[in-house]
Amino acid sequence: MMLVLLAIGFLAGVITAVSPCVLPVLPILLAGSASGGRRRPYAIIAGLVASFTVFTLTAAWLLDQLGLPKDFLRNLALVLLFLLAATLIFPQVGRLLERPFLPLTRRRGGNLGGGFVLGLSLGLVFVPCAGPVLAAVTVLAANRSLDAESFLLTFSYALGAALPMLAVAVTGNRAVGATKLIRTHAQSVRRVLGVVIAATALAIVFNVDRRFQTAVPGYTEALQRQVERSGPAERELARVRGAPSGAARAEQSAPLEDYGAAPDFVGVSQWLNTPAGSPLSLPHLRGNVVLVDFWTYSCINCLRTLPYVKAWDSAYRRRGLTIVGVHTPEFAFEHVASNVRKAVSSLGIRYPVAIDNDYETWNAYSNQYWPAKYLIDRRGHVRYAHFGEGEYEETEMLIRRLLAERPVRLPPPVEAKAKGPSGERTTPETYLGYARIDRYAGSAIHNDRPAAYQLPTALEQDELALGGVWRVGHERSVAGRGARLQLRYYARDVHLVLGGSGRVDVFLNGKRHGRVAVRGSRLYTLVNGRGAEEGLLELRFAPGVSAYAFTFG
């Protein structure tokens, strides 16, 4: 049983390491690895595994004992990143710090101590995509229910996340070391790498990384679901938590069944967006349809669902819907009420938010996920739940159905998913794996095997089609010989998550628009316009390039 649990934790970590959540730390990882000797990447990863494992489990307790703010360790990590960047940019700073901080700074640009400290810092600013494994560990840490099993689970998760990052770090380190031009201009290269570390740390301070992450679709969500939400995973994680497996599993199995009276909000330390901070209770809200949304402000999956939740609040609040965001923290710095208040303000959240720092409401619902949504009818009974991203149309349909149990005039369904940054309607996010493909107008799709596709003579607004040979998988399509893709869109900017290695030629309205060189899995910009407009996009792929999902701005 223990080996099954550790395997689940390890695989969940590996999936996290190839998800959008790892993107903000990659520039620091690459820059830090490139600035030292061959063993430096290993020191960085060792520091990352150590700090993530130890502080995920003990940060809240340790800071309580020391009487320090909950975000102290994260702020300290950011200071260390700036300090290490300064030693690379300004050699004199390194010399000044060399004596008192010899183990912490770079010694001639490459000692293991500096790499380990950099890894410690990364472990404290790395915010992985929330899943059941992390949720189970976080709940145990919050309840001070730690044992060897929870430590090993956290360590296996951290190790799984670290191994792909180690491969990236070693590759970057050896690529730099093998380049003669770089070796002959070592000091200039170190300064550039220092600037990269400082700039990335500054982006984390101002949450630029979070805005970038939310722009990248959650292309690993299907993998996360298969690993962390499988039957064996649920049973093992429930055993670790000491809760019955499937305790929160109302999800989608039978929409609008009656799952009984909903638990009330308990253990809430503060309420935001209520009159004078007054508390809410479900008996007080009886007669309203209530949507309870468990979230946390650094959870990328939660932030991707936020536009939909805000749109539902705007459309249905006056028709009898009350949305309550239950902010249950995943990491120590998310316990700080002022941080939550600032996030609620900057994210434009106007519905009530309960700060559930002690996990009491979370435990009352036997919840396991960020985000998680529970739909409660006017009598106070749970009628539906959904965990993770997606199913927005179904959730809204059920909200409307519960509201309509009383005579009420409802507006047209909202189209939050089709709103660009300016609020103007754009083409919705468009996936290219058969699990979530939508608005497809081409020849029939053949799952999980190479097949030849034929482009239609015309496409309607927001439709796409494939031409040439493709292998359409669960969450991506892999190009074969003569692979082409057409999409009729309305937007200013068009982005596509691509993977593999090769080229993609871009044609817009029949004219060549450019070429994208694909080097690894990330978001690539295909069209960067001055204003929203309709266009017919055609892409011609080199064999082996993978396409995951379009997003639009």
Q: Residue 58: exposed, middle, or buried by beta-carbon count in 10 A (0-12, 13-18, 19+)?
A: middle
Q: Is the peptide bond before 428 cis (omega within 30 degrees of 0)?
A: no
- Residue 180's pLDDT is 52
Task: Tell me the pairing of strands 289-295 and 321-327.
Answer: parallel
67-71, 117-121, 363-367: which has the minimum mean pLDDT? 67-71
- Residue 249's pLDDT is 46
User: What percent of the chain clears pLDDT 70, i.e. is strictly above it?
Assistant: 79
In this predicted structure, the answer to whether residue 167 has a pLDDT above a threshold of 80 is yes
Which distant-in-sequence residues (6+ apart) come within 8 Å of 286 by Cβ?
A: 378, 379, 380
**Whose structure tokens read 């939050």?**
416
- Residue 429's pLDDT is 75
The more confidently predicted of residues 373 and 394 is 373
Closest CA to 477 of 444, 516, 441, 450: 450
- Residue 107's pLDDT is 44
Categorize the per-residue pLDDT at 454 as very low, low, confident or very high, splitting at 50, 70 and 90.
Answer: very high
In this predicted structure, the answer to whether residue 205 has a pLDDT above a threshold of 70 is yes
Phi, psi of 398 (to 5 degrees): -75, -35
Q: What is the CATH number of domain 248-417?
A: 3.40.30.10
Categorize the per-residue pLDDT at 109 as very low, low, confident or very high, splitting at 50, 70 and 90.
Answer: very low
Helices 148-177 & 26-34 angle (0-180, nearest 10): 60
Task: Give kind and range of the element (H or E) at residue 512.
Answer: strand 511-519
Coil, helix or strand at residue 18: coil
**Whose structure tokens read 């794996």?**
433
- Residue 472's pLDDT is 94
- Provide the token pair at 323: 């949305």
Sheet of 321-327: strands edge to edge?
270-272, 353-355, 321-327, 289-295, 372-376, 382-387
In this predicted structure, the answer to whether residue 247 has a pLDDT above a threshold of 50 is no
- Residue 216's pLDDT is 64
In this predicted structure, the answer to whether residue 248 has a pLDDT above a threshold of 60 is no
| CB neighbours of residue 353 within 10 Å | 25
41-50, 391-400, 419-428, 524-533: which has the minimum mean pLDDT? 419-428
Categorize the per-residue pLDDT at 547 as very low, low, confident or very high, splitting at 50, 70 and 90.
Answer: very high
In this predicted structure, the answer to whether residue 192 has a pLDDT above a threshold of 90 is no
Categorize the per-residue pLDDT at 97 as very low, low, confident or very high, splitting at 50, 70 and 90.
Answer: low
Section 524-543 average pLDDT: 90
Task: Give kind and range of the element (H or E) at residue 464.
Answer: strand 464-472
For the chain, the structural domain boundaries read 2-221, 248-417, 430-552
Q: What is the 3-state secondary structure (H, E, C) of 378-416?
A: CCCEEEEEEECCCCHHHHHHHHHHHHCCCCCCCCCCCCH
Strand partners, 246: none
Measure the CA–CA gap between 17 and 27, rounded to whole angstroms.
14
In this predicted structure, the answer to whether residue 243 has a pLDDT above a threshold of 80 is no
Section 15-35 average pLDDT: 76
In this predicted structure, the answer to whether residue 382 has a pLDDT above a threshold of 80 is yes
Which distant-in-sequence residues (6+ apart) come within 8 Å of 406 by Cβ?
A: 320, 378
DSSP 462: T
In this predicted structure, the answer to whether residue 420 has a pLDDT above a threshold of 50 is no
For residue 184, the one-letter residue type is: T
- Provide the token pair at 477: 């399509």
In this predicted structure, the answer to whether residue 27 has a pLDDT above a threshold of 50 is yes
Is the Cβ–Cβ distance between 59 and 69 less than 8 Å?
Answer: no
Q: Residue 12: exposed, middle, or buried by beta-carbon count in 10 A (0-12, 13-18, 19+)?
A: buried
Measure the CA–CA gap between 348 and 82, rounded to whole angstroms.
30
Angle 275-327-352 (CA atoms, 0-180°, nearest 5)?
Answer: 25
**Whose structure tokens read 């997003």?**
551
**Whose structure tokens read 């070391």?**
177
Is the Cβ–Cβ distance between 39 and 114 less than 8 Å?
Answer: no
- Residue 207's pLDDT is 67
Categorize the per-residue pLDDT at 165 as very low, low, confident or very high, splitting at 50, 70 and 90.
Answer: confident
13-22, 326-335, 452-461: which has the minimum mean pLDDT? 13-22
Section 21-41 average pLDDT: 76
Q: Residue 92: exposed, middle, or buried by beta-carbon count in 10 A (0-12, 13-18, 19+)?
A: exposed
Domain 430-552 has CATH 1.20.1370.10: no
Section 423-447 average pLDDT: 81
In this predicted structure, the answer to whether residue 105 has a pLDDT above a threshold of 50 is no
The more confidently predicted of residues 236 and 290 is 290
- Residue 108's pLDDT is 45
In this predicted structure, the answer to whether residue 534 has a pLDDT above a threshold of 80 is yes
Measure the CA–CA gap between 40 and 34, rounded to whole angstroms.
8
In this predicted structure, the answer to whether residue 190 has a pLDDT above a threshold of 90 is no
- Residue 94's pLDDT is 57
Categorize the per-residue pLDDT at 1 as very low, low, confident or very high, splitting at 50, 70 and 90.
Answer: low
| CB neighbours of residue 31 within 10 Å | 26
DSSP letters for 112-153: HHHHHHHHHHHHHH--PPP-HHHHHHHHHHHTT---HHHHHH
43-57, 135-149, 264-278, 394-408: which has the minimum mean pLDDT? 135-149
Measure the CA–CA gap between 200 and 194, rounded to whole angstroms.
10
Measure the CA–CA gap between 29 and 337, rounded to whole angstroms.
30
Task: Please provide the average confidence, as pLDDT, over all residues in the chain.
Answer: 80
- Report how far apart, in Å, the C-alpha atoms of 95 and of each of 105, 108, 240, 324, 358 are: 9, 10, 49, 53, 45
Measure the CA–CA gap between 50 and 110, rounded to whole angstroms.
20
pLDDT one-digit tens code per residue, 283-312: 999 999 999 999 988 887 888 889 899 999
- Residue 250's pLDDT is 47
Section 495-517 average pLDDT: 92
Closest CA to 395 of 383, 405, 406, 404: 383
Strand partners, 466: 485
- Residue 70's pLDDT is 74
Is the Cβ–Cβ distance between 276 and 376 less than 8 Å?
Answer: no
- Residue 341's pLDDT is 92
- Residue 421's pLDDT is 44
Is the Cβ–Cβ distance between 166 and 13 less than 8 Å?
Answer: no
Task: Tell me the pairing of strands 522-541 and 501-508.
Answer: antiparallel
In this predicted structure, the answer to whether residue 181 has a pLDDT above a threshold of 90 is no
Categorize the per-residue pLDDT at 104 as very low, low, confident or very high, splitting at 50, 70 and 90.
Answer: very low
- Residue 77's pLDDT is 79
pTM score of the predicted model = 0.60
- Residue 251's pLDDT is 44
